[in-house]
Every structure is written in structure tokens, then in C-alpha cells.
Structure 1
Amino acid sequence: MQKSRLTDLGISIEGCEISHLAFRTLTYPEYLEARARLEEHAQANLENVWNGRPISKILLRSPLDLGDGFSVRMIELIPPMHQCVYRMGLEHVGVVIGEGVDEFGKTHRSVLTGQQYQGPVNEPYFIRFEDYTNVKFYRRSLKDVCEMEGRPFAGFVHVERWQG
């Protein structure tokens, strides 16, 4: 659906890597249950606190086939929202544009919703659709960004003592 929506806006993602799928849960207990179920299929989980709550970056053992030649190995699992209105369930798809992401942003400025600051090496452009789902466009994959920030994917790292 998101690929079709992008095509309708004049954006082709053919040949682009899918960085990750972001999935939001309505409650913290749902987050913990989803995390446990996803970890059964994962080689690593890097969980840290972001905007006051834990977020998991789960690296799957095998790529998930999305069809049309696309696959993904990372799920970003996000517990209840901290701001704004977000879609529960599949909330966004991360697309790696690469070093041309700023030119991409200029070219498609008229259809982009904005740009989000997520840290010094991660400022994706994004489109928010009417159903509150998003597509975010990155210079680097989420996995690469985490590793650049000194957070390698080595085993299962969980936030300790966080109260939901």
C-alpha cells in the first residue's frame, strides 16, 4: 500500500533498501508481549530509552519478504505514544535513500510532511498519510545508525527497571 501511495506522489523506491518497519503497541504489556514473540525470530535486540520510554530495534535472523523485491531484517517496536497522533500497529516504513537523501528532500519537498531530528546522524524526511501511517526516508539504515552511535547488535539488550 505504501509503495503504491508513493508512486501516486511521483516517488519511486525501486532499488532502495527497506531499513525497518516500525510497529506501535497501545499498551506497555502489549509491547512486552510483542517483544518476546519477535525475539523468538531474532538474532539480536537493542532496546534503549527514547523520549521517555523503551524502544526495541529487533534484528531478525532471516529477512522478512515484503513482496515486489523488497525485504526487511529489522523491526522497530515502539510502546505507547509520547506525542501527537500515531497509528497503532504498522506505523512507518523506513526507506534508505542514501547519500542523495537531501537532494531527494528538495526534489519532493511539495509532498513531504517534514523532516525529523532523531540525532546528529539521523534526520529522516517523512510523509504522513491520512491514516497516520508514515514513510520515512533515511540516509542510512537504522541498524547502521545504531552502530555508528556505538550501539552494536550483540545479543539481547533490554532496558532495566522501566515502569510502563
Structure 2
Amino acid sequence: MNSPDSRVAPHAADTDMSAEWLAQAVVAATPEALVVCDASGTIRLWNNGAQRVFGYSPSEAMGQSLDIIIPAKLRKRHWDGYHQTMATGQTRYGEQLLSVPATHRDGRRLSIEFSVALLHHDDGRIVGISAIMREVTERRDAERALRGRLAELEARLVDLESATT
């Protein structure tokens, strides 16, 4: 049986796709927001998916602080954790899918889910972090509405049970 690498490499060579071209194509085509920041939290990569989610074009976002998408009241907590992760090389979240609020360029509050990966230099130093994010605001709002409706129905059921006993 062929390994995944042996199946991909000949195809890439046959079609003149370099690893660099493939990486750029994946970043550009990925519908999720792909954001890469350096160790100080400056945005170094911002794909079209990130523009769709957050409203900033790549040229507007790159070179900016992540503060452009972090709600003001959550920034201290975010940066405390970010700097701790950069200093220690460990994140308490590992490979978990995280869910947090974010801010759109127009000021709207968003709900996003994301995963992160630390980026290491060849010498082992942590040089940044990458995040793949998906906006889930509509789903979160629908879940919240369903929970509210369920609570209402449960309360009515208790009232009905009380009235019949």
C-alpha cells in the first residue's frame, strides 16, 4: 500500500506544483479564517477567510495587533495567556477546539471557534502561533434560543403537573 506521501509527491512533481505554491494555494482557498501571528502578537498572515469573518482585508490586518478582533474587555486575559504561552512554549488548551467572542470590523460581536498551533523555528524557539477560525454566531444564537425555549417548556410542564396534582 502506498503511503500518503508517496501518493502526493509524484502528483505534485508531475504538475509542477512546488511546496510553496501548494501552501499559498491552500491558504488562499481555505474558507476558514487562517491567521498567523508572531511572538509579539502582530498579524503576519491573514487569508481571505479571515477577511470574510472579520471584515478586514489582508492588507489592513497584516502588521496590526490581534486587538483588532479581540473584544476590549477580554484583551488583558488574552494577552496574559498569549505571553505566557510564548514564554513557556505551552498552551493550556492543547489541541482543543476553543469557543470565544470576537469583534468584527463593523463592531458586531461574533462567536468563533478555533484551534491553535505553536510555530517553532528550526532551533526550537517559538516564533508565533497559527489559528484556524470559523464564525459560528448564527449557530450559537440558535442554540441559545433553543435553550431558552426548552426552559420555558420545562417551566410550563412543572406548572401543568402542579395544577393536576
TM (norm. structure 2) is 0.25
Structure number having the greater strand percentage: 1
TM (norm. structure 1) is 0.25
Instruction: Decide which structure has the larger Cα Rg and report it.
Output: 2
Structure number having the greater helix percentage: 2
